[in-house]
Homo-oligomer: A and B are copies of this chain.
Amino acid sequence: MESYKTIIEEGLRSALSTYLHPGQLYDPIRYLIEGGGKRIRPLLTLLACETACAEAGRAVNAAIAVEMLHAFTLVHDDIMDNSEIRRGRLTVHKKWNANAAILTGDVMIGIALRLLGKDAHHCVQPLKVFDAFTNGLIRVCEGQALDMWHLNSPHVTSDDYLAMIDLKTAKLLETAVEVGACIGNASDQHITALKEFAHDIGLAFQLNDDLLDLTGGEQFGKTAGGDIVQGKRTWLMITLRDSVRGEQDSSVVSEFFENNGLHRSRIPEVRSLMETYGILDRARALIESLTLTAQSHLSAVPDCDARKNLERLTLQLMERQH
């Protein structure tokens, strides 16, 4: 897997090396990309391409395009969420300003499209590559719109939440594999299987991230329980609300939903309630179930090294858990 990481980091560096002037537009992109990241999406693109044609190199530009699309969402989401820190460093809008962050995000979509165009010609139907990209872009915006709307809504259900992360997280992973598989000229059946796989690991991944926000401590450059402070209606909080309804313990939960968040000092109380009501275990079981379903979709993909790597990647992602 390390060799893919090297290809991706080198691809990112090389893609950005041609974007220098104006510096106030392009410097923030380099800053953001140098901040690191798990690079899951470009890895999915390379592996998806390889499952189809055994030649990941064909989709390197497209893989970087997908990472750039993801990075664009981070820059704009950080403005909207007013986040100050990402990966232990100041967010773009805090280090520069909101205007620079808006414009830098915008141009990243352009850079991504240009990279995509470089690899799309490998594809028998090149427009399918742009369709997959466009779908990812539109869905991720819809997901973010729902996420913002949920923030002030008292009645979000766990289904609403799953629909939101489907759009905000899973769809972009689907885009990642679809772009790679299209460039590898995979069959429709093959592409569908990879998209179903990506969809399920997308949901599992986001649920796992929410769990880590509460249980992972400081190890991921975040403060534990940040989602509770910010009033995020995660699956965990929604399921807790539905479980404690009418019980004596429900006041802190009501307070969370009424005040759109709680003071940092209340985090242990919420966490302990989650343990009492088995919410954390239920989340772990849901993640486990999604991961298994994800893996099962891979049976429709030809058995090859790349498929094994997709299985391995899934396990690695979920190992970050608990």
Contacts and interface: CB of A to CB of B under 8 A. Distances in A.
Interface of A: 22, 24-25, 76, 79-80, 98-99, 102-103, 105-107, 109-111, 113-114, 116-117, 120-121, 126-127, 130-131, 133-135, 137-138, 141-142, 144-146, 148-149
Contacts of A145: 22, 24-25, 103
B79 A22 contact: no
7 contacts: A22-B146, A25-B141, A79-B99, A102-B102, A116-B130, A120-B130, A126-B127
A149 B24 contact: yes
Nearest to A118: B127
A125 B99 CA distance: 36
A138 B110 contact: yes
Contacts of A138: 107, 110-111, 114
A134 B117 contact: yes
Contacts of A109: 106, 109, 137
Nearest to A128: B117
B106 A133 contact: no
A103 B121 contact: no
Given A22-B145, A25-B145, A126-B127, A114 B99 contact: no
Q: What 4 A-B pairs are tightest by C-beta distance, nearest first? A: A110-B138, A25-B145, A107-B141, A110-B137
B76 A144 contact: no
Contacts of A98: 79, 98
A144 B130 CA distance: 26
Contact of A106 (B76, B116, B126): B76
A130 B117 contact: yes
Nearest to A148: B99
A80 B99 contact: yes
Contacts of A133: 113
Contacts of A120: 127, 130
